Amino acid sequence: MPDPALERVLYTRNEIASRLRELAAEIRQDYAGLPPPILIGVLKGSVFFLTDLARELAMPLRLDFLSISSFSAAPDRGRVRIEKDLELDLRGEHALLVEDIVDTGFTLRYLLETLTARQPASLRVCTLLDKSSRRLIPVPVHYRGFEIPDRFVVGYGLDYRQLYRNLPELGILRRDES
Q: List, by residue number, the catalytic residues.
A: 103
* 3-class secondary structure, 95: strand
One of 103, 111, 128, 167 touching ligand IMP (CB under 6 A):
103
Q: How far is the CB of 68 from ligand IMP (least distance, A)?
A: 8
Asked if 157 touches ligand IMP (CB under 6 A), the answer is: no
Q: Rounded distance, CA 43 to CA 86, Å? A: 11
Binding part of the chain for ligand IMP, among 32-40, 86-94, 102-110, 117-125 by CB under 6 A, reads: 102-110
DSSP 177: G
CB of 141 to ligand IMP, least distance (A): 11
| 101 is an interface residue for ligand IMP by CB under 6 A | yes
Name residues contacting ligand IMP, limited to 56-75 (CB under 6 A).
70
Query: Is residue 152 a contact residue for ligand IMP (CB under 6 A)?
Result: yes
Report the residue number, 146 or 152, with the smaller CB distance to ligand IMP.
Answer: 152
Using the rule CB under 6 A, is 169 a contact of ligand IMP? no
Distances from the Cα of 175 to the Cαs of 53, 54, 62, in angstroms?
A: 30, 33, 39
Stretch that binds ligand IMP, among 11-19, 54-62, 96-104, 113-121 (CB under 6 A): 96-104
Distance (Å, rounded) from C-alpha 164 to C-alpha 159?
5
Report long-range pairs for 12-15 (Cβ below 8 Å, ≥24 apart).
12/169, 13/156, 13/168, 13/169
Cβ-contact 64, 87 below 8 angstroms: yes
Instruction: Give the list of residues 6+ apart from residue 81 with CB closer than 8 angstroms, or none.
Output: 68, 69, 70
Q: Does 10 bind ligand IMP (CB under 6 A)?
A: no
Handedness of CA 20, 22, 27, 29 (dihedral sign): positive
Among the candidate windows 12-20, 25-33, 112-120, 150-158, which touches ligand IMP by CB under 6 A?
150-158
Positions that interact with ligand IMP (CB under 6 A) = 45, 70, 100-108, 152-154, 158
